[in-house]
A and B are shown apart, each in its own frame.
Chain A
Amino acid sequence: MTHSDPPRDADAECPAGGPPAGPEGRGDPDRRRFLSSVSGVAMAGGLAAGYGTFAALAGRYLHATGTATAWMYVVPVAEIEPGASLAYDSPAGLKIVITRRSGGSQDAAPSASDFLALSSICPHLGCRVHWEPHHNRFFCPCHNGVFDPAGQPVEGPPKADHQPLPTYPLRVDNGLLFIETPVEVVGQDQSAHAPGSTAGMGEPGRHRNKA
């Protein structure tokens, strides 16, 4: 040690009024050890609790709310015959095919379960499938997943785990069909698809085409 500071050895200098140097004055060694351990554990516990709370708060901060969706009006249900489909363009630019299942009576009031709106998001790892008319199938270019027109997996990794194409939620209210879709798609020019004041209540047929 080359510096000239005074030595800091606590045993070398006991301040006036400090604990007496005799063995009886230092207290019971077992008790000292116990208190030392307890205080060590308490401090470690306090630190763990403090930083644990901090980590939990950080987890909540990082947990984002997710993508907004909205219910969109599509068409009066009576306009889709059993077995027929229509192509629906969502305000966010998603192209969705909505099919009315065949087999139901046209006279009975159809419910949401009579319709099917297939999502193009592959259930395998999230890429977009596309329709191949020449093969009459949906194909996922990422990992070669193949789906039939009803969205059932017929080849590739989705078949191994039986993962059909997901569907969009549908609802029938007073004879009108509604669909729940994302209202925005990241990185897109939103003005091109902005629903504006018509969001969720657009003119019937505004985003649809007869298939």
Chain B
Amino acid sequence: METLTQWLHERIPVSGAQLRELTNEPVPNHMKRWWFCLGGTPAYLFVVQVFTGILLAIYYQPSSATAYESVEYITNQVSLGWYFRSVHKWGATMMIAAVILHQMRVYFTGAYRKPRELNWGIGMCLLLCTLGLGFTGYTLVFEQLSYWGATVGANIGERVPVVGGLLRELLLAGPQYNEHTLPRFYILHAAVLPVCLVLLIFIHIVMLRLHGVTELRFEDAPPDQPTHFNFFPDHLYMELILGLVLMIVLSALATIVPATMGPRADPLTTPEVIKPEWFFYVTFRWLKLFGPTFAILSMGLILFAMFLWPWIDQLLRKVPGWDEASVYIGIVAVFVITGLTVWEAVVAH
């Protein structure tokens, strides 16, 4: 055994003490509250998505002639195919929800402030990547929603100033959806975006470790309580419990509400009632409310402001009496986003 340890140590020259130093960063005490563990949740769900995604890719055939039938085959013929497809679908929903909740937590606790502005920007890129994965994911089934979602998405891209036309043509492999389009969405979903996500998660975590977790104090915390606890094993156990609970919830949802198949894509007919996945309800309603130029440019502007929010917040706080302005703006934004989402959910048009 000692020989083996020696052999390993020669090839992986890291000592136990160095490993402990790497992993055992003191974690602020507020992280014992579950609400503050949301950062690890999307990362865990991403691993679930990679695993189930690889399983689905084994049978999936990314071409407009075969995609729908292959998803139907996975759902109805392959042993437990329905289960893995449903876990993948619910995992996507939960991953997006977890990213949004994590971002809300960071926003409302002001954890994006100096010196963590850049990590907020990385987090925004992670949000966009996750939404991109959600969007490209549902284009792959080649049901009606897939086809019209891809068409609408590419046409939104066309409105991007200067490069919009090129962007749309690159995405659709031509001026409109054709037989070369679906493989592009597949490559984006299964290769390009996951790789971007892995790199961004790595940078996000490195930045987090370099700065340390933002420390928060609560009024109800006992004064004699230690301010920190060990990452290993305390926090690791919390994450493991979270992972276990998520797996149970995912399995239950996948079994009780499994993923279904909509009608096959028909490029000649847009269905009378068509809606994207829930996470795009807000943009879908926004596009109904305003003309395309204003709607798309305003969405771009909102995204740009979100990226720059740490600096905008810094400016706002310099105005006397506006210390909490970001919180109130955040509350209004949450109400508007929730309101538009519910509105889109409850009406046919």
Contacts and interface: CB of A to CB of B under 8 A. Distances in A.
A156 interface: yes
16 contacts: A64-B169, A66-B169, A66-B178, A67-B175, A95-B268, A124-B155, A125-B151, A125-B156, A127-B270, A142-B152, A142-B270, A156-B288, A185-B268, A186-B64, A186-B267, A187-B65
SS class, residues of chain B in contact with chain A:
loop
B174 A126 contact: no
Contact of A126 (B152, B265, B274): B152
Contact of A62 (B151, B170, B269): B170
A66 B269 contact: no
Interface in B275-299: 284, 287-288, 290-295
Contacts of A158: 291-292
Interface in B170-187: 170, 173-181
Given A64-B169, A142-B274, A157-B287, A187 B155 contact: no
Which of B173, B175, B267, B274 has the most chain A CB within a 10 Å cutoff? B267
A156 to B, nearest CB: 7
B58 interface: no
Interface residues of A, number: 34
A37 B292 CA distance: 50
B113 interface: no
Interface of A: 2, 59, 62-67, 93-95, 124-130, 140-144, 156-161, 163, 185-188
B292 A161 contact: yes
A128 B270 contact: yes
B271 interface: yes
Interface string B32-76: 000000000000000000000000000000001100100000000
Interface in B155-172: 155-156, 169-170
Contact of A124 (B180, B267, B268, B292): B292
Interface of B: 13, 64-65, 68, 142, 147-148, 151-152, 154-156, 169-170, 173-181, 264-274, 284, 287-288, 290-295, 349
Contacts of B13: 2
B270 A140 contact: yes
B276 to A, nearest CB: 10
Contacts, number: 105
Given A66-B169, A144-B288, 10 more contacts: A62-B170, A63-B170, A64-B174, A95-B268, A127-B151, A130-B272, A141-B272, A157-B291, A187-B64, A188-B268
A56 B169 CA distance: 15
A65 B169 CA distance: 9
A157 B13 CA distance: 64
Given A62-B170, A186-B267, A187-B267, A125 B291 contact: no
B127 to A, nearest CB: 23
Nearest to B150: A126
B147 A63 contact: no
